[in-house]
Structure 1
Amino acid sequence: MSSSRVAIPFILVVVILYTSYIATPDPGALASFLTRDYPPNHNVDNQQSLRAPGLAAEIKVPLEIHIMSKCPDARDCLEQLIAPTLEEIESLVDFQMSFIGRPTADDGVFCMHGPSECLGNILHLCSAKINTPPSPPPAHTYLPFSLCLIHDFKNIPEREFVEGCADKNGIDFQKLNDCASDMGPDGGLSMLRNSVERSRALEAETSCTVRVDGKKRCVRDGGKWKDCDGGSDIEDLVRDIKKIYKEKNGGHERFGEKSKKLSEWIESERIIWTGH
């Protein structure tokens, strides 16, 4: 899926939905903010790695997906490949979600599926931000919330739905809402602009694009896996990440235990999805 222009400034959705939680800004200020110039993030390859006990110079494998928050291919990508992969090897990777949109001539940001998708993108970004430090945050601290959102993405941005996903998965809704409605340089809108610019700089225009160690690994588009050298199964991606990790760390292997939180979430939600 590729992005295109829609006409409504998405941040107004936040104001309408959550007026009991935030002070409503002046609409004129919102409109001017949407067209404010924000330089692209040129440090697109600046990856951070965490240090594990007993491994002083551990280098983790960058794993990144480029998605749209109201895209069925993004949902399939997360549910069928990324979450199960992270369940197995979360400790070996630095995981990141980036988003696909289209900057306009006046420096605005528009999303293929409308303003509510832009807000959905922001909610995903904010859920990761409010779980820092460390940076990048462990995927299990926010990914269950993202999976909840994207499984029923048609309900974005209904407040009851978003708040339910937050409460269910340990995300502070007040902090989430504060981040999403923050129009400052560290707020949700700015993060979305930077994320969109990152995806464009990396030429990731299809939702979902999976990148491993800085290279395109697989694409989910039109309900099918494409350009997946090495295979599109969970086992294929896990194998490749383990191999790269070993190469980066001088032959050292540290496969670790399964992510307990992701395992519990996947098992419980699988029951709901299958109707049992």
Structure 2
Amino acid sequence: MFNLFALSFLGLFPSQHVLQAPDVKVPVTLGVMSRCPDALLCENLFDTVLKKVSDKIDFRLVYIAQVNSSEPEFGATCLHGPEECAGNVHQLCAAEYTPLDNWWEFVNCNNYQGRNKACLSYTLPWTYIDFRQQIGLPETAKQCAHIAQIDWETSGVGECAGLDGSGRGTEGVNLLHKSILLGKTMGLEKSCTIMINSEPVCIHDGTWKACENGHRASDFIRQINAAYEQLNNQ
């Protein structure tokens, strides 16, 4: 019986199907809280990073909070209040049901008070602090779904988060609990913590901390490219 290499030699089976393995994506995680100013700053910075390396990474947001069965609405305590828990759920449901381009635009819209980031031209990071009070509100979630071209009613996002936009959908709350517990296992304590290839590389907690290899977008791009090359033996 011919093996694949023999078939390749005879031109009956392209050699690249034998020799070329799929590339390994670099896991990249941001440990965040949806209403935290440090998280908003990191997410804004990573908007630039994603434009350069989104095809090389497996990207996710993991939410830092406390599971708390005595909390009636979310079964969790979020540092910036129940609206933050709702915001976390909105973003988790968007990530669960839509491609990266859509859910990331949804997150960016959340951070810009329910508006399209591309239409705004803010230059000072602390400007984002004024926007936090809109994150987690039903009207913000639905408006941002529209801006991100997500059908709230039919995409699965609304059903997950609650069609009323409350963030209290059963699936969404379960996703929140899983995300919180995942963050615990990863050792995430500060929002925002940046992890590349399962290693913490930088924290923004009022200021940049523990960033041995830099904290600019270009620094994270460089680290991701290096990890990608290592994982794929290039």
What is the SS of the residue equivalent to 1:142? helix
Q: Which has the higher contact order (CA 8 A, sep 6+)?
A: 1
Partner residue of 1:151? 112
Distance 1:230 1:246 in 2: 17
Partner residue of 2:227? 244
Is the 8 Å Cα contact of residues 163 and 173 (structure 1) preserved in structure 2? yes
Residue segments in structure 1 that go unaligned for 5+ positions in a row:
1-53, 132-136, 252-276
Partner residue of 2:157? 176
Q: Does 1:126 align with 2:105?
A: no
Report the CA distance shift for 1:183/1:177 in structure 2 as closer, same or farther (over 3 A): closer
Is the 8 Å Cα contact of residues 220 and 226 (structure 1) preserved in structure 2? yes
Residue segments in structure 2 that go unaligned for 5+ positions in a row:
1-18, 114-131, 163-167
Partner residue of 2:64? 100
Distance 1:166 1:233 in 2: 29
Deviation at 1:154, TM superposition (A): 1.2
Distance 2:84 2:138 in 1: 14
Deviation at 1:106, TM superposition (A): 5.5
Cα RMSD, aligned residues only: 1.8
Report the CA distance shift for 1:166/1:183 in structure 2 as closer, same or farther (over 3 A): closer
Deviation at 1:158, TM superposition (A): 3.0
Partner residue of 2:79? 112
The structure 1 residue matched to 2:37, chosen from 72, 82, 93, is 72
Deviation at 1:177, TM superposition (A): 2.2
Is the 8 Å Cα contact of residues 214 and 220 (structure 2) preserved in structure 1? yes
Is the 8 Å Cα contact of residues 75 and 151 (structure 1) preserved in structure 2? no
The structure 1 residue matched to 2:52, chosen from 80, 84, 88, is 88
| Letter of the structure 2 residue corresponding to residue 168 of structure 1 | I
For residues 201-240 of structure 1, what are the structure 2 equivalents within 5 Å? 201-222=185-206, 224-240=207-223
Report the CA distance shift for 1:173/1:237 in structure 2 as closer, same or farther (over 3 A): same
Give TM-score scaled by structure 2 length. 0.75
For residues 10-21 of structure 1, what are the structure 2 equivalents within 5 Å? none
Q: Does 1:167 align with 2:146?
A: yes
The structure 2 residue matched to 1:191, chosen from 164, 175, 179, is 175
Distance 1:73 1:126 in 2: 22
If you compute each CA radius of gyration, which structure gives the higher value, 1 or 2? 2
| Letter of the structure 1 residue corresponding to residue 227 of structure 2 | I
Deviations for 1:13-43, whole angstroms, at most 9, x for unmatched residues? Answer: xxxxxxxxxxxxxxxxxxxxxxxxxxxxxxx
Aligned residue pairs total 188
Deviation at 1:176, TM superposition (A): 2.4
Give TM-score scaled by structure 1 length. 0.64
Partner residue of 1:47? none
Report the CA distance shift for 1:103/1:63 in structure 2 as closer, same or farther (over 3 A): same
Partner residue of 1:142? 103
Report the CA distance shift for 1:106/1:55 in structure 2 as closer, same or farther (over 3 A): farther
Distance 2:139 2:77 in 1: 25
Report the CA distance shift for 1:55/1:208 in structure 2 as closer, same or farther (over 3 A): farther
Report the CA distance shift for 1:55/1:225 in structure 2 as closer, same or farther (over 3 A): farther
What is the SS of the residue equivalent to 2:30? strand
